[in-house]
Amino acid sequence: MLPLPLEQLAEQLRLLPGVGKKTALKYAFRVLELSDEQAQNLLATIAEVRSNIVSCVICHHISESDLCSICANTSRDDSQICVVEDARDVLAFERAGSFKGLYHVLGGVISPMDGIGPDKLNISSLLGRLDEVSEIIVATNPTVEGEATAMYLTKLLAPRGITVTRLAYGLPAGSDLEYADEVTLARAIEGRRSL
Ligand SMILES: [Zn+2]
């Protein structure tokens, strides 16, 4: 009973996280109500994000050029790399403002249940960055998969003489770093412990 294009739009919108059938339909109808100009702007903005946002060639953070603004900043401390799951975690730490080192975005966590092994993550590129590095701070989320990934990285890095530390969690177990407040995140990084 729903016109096919509208149904297809709702189906596409369900690709977004947290959007179920009902919400997708609500959004699809809202798109229908947009003015031509608003709809064009939305399309153009999506296209622009797709073509202009790339992954930093060093750390895999989102970037508008080959090097992200953090890797390009020569005043950052290149002896420390904070390893995170995704770009939103970098943004969270940058908002907290207490970390002055560099980052490495894994692009996920090891999760055998979902068929994600270490080979699917940006780990080999991390191993290629260790020359100047004395400490790797593993800042994966405090979930089962995040902990397993931290253990994997520790086993990989410790024999290379690199100190591997983990965030001190005043962060609740199972929580998402991205939603931690700035004070909690700043404390978590200051109170990090050796693995
Ligand atoms: Zn970068």
Burial (0-12, 13-18, 19+ Cβ within 10 Å), 20: exposed
Of 136, 129, 132, which is closest to residue 155 (Cα–Cα)? 136
CA distances, 175 to each of 46, 105, 138, 145, 155 (Å): 29, 18, 15, 12, 24
54 C-alpha to ligand 1 centroid (Å): 11
pTM above 0.75, yes or no: yes
Q: Where are the alpha helices (DSSP H) in 113-181?
A: 124-127, 144-157
168 C-alpha to ligand 1 centroid (Å): 24
Token readout for 96 is: 């907290």
Query: Is 83 in a helix, a strand, or coil?
Result: strand
| Pairwise CA distance, residues 84 & 106, whole Å | 6
96 C-alpha to ligand 1 centroid (Å): 18
CB atoms within 10 A of CB 24: 19
114 C-alpha to ligand 1 centroid (Å): 27
Of 74, 64, 94, which is closest to residue 82 (Cα–Cα)? 94
188 C-alpha to ligand 1 centroid (Å): 22
Per-residue pLDDT of the chain (195 residues; tens, 9 = 90+): 889 999 999 999 999 999 999 999 999 999 999 999 999 999 999 999 999 999 999 999 999 999 999 999 999 999 999 999 999 999 999 998 889 999 999 999 999 888 999 999 999 999 999 998 999 999 998 888 998 999 999 999 989 989 999 887 666 666 677 767 776 777 777 778 777
Token readout for 177 is: 């770093």
Q: Locate tokens 């080192």: which residue?
A: 101
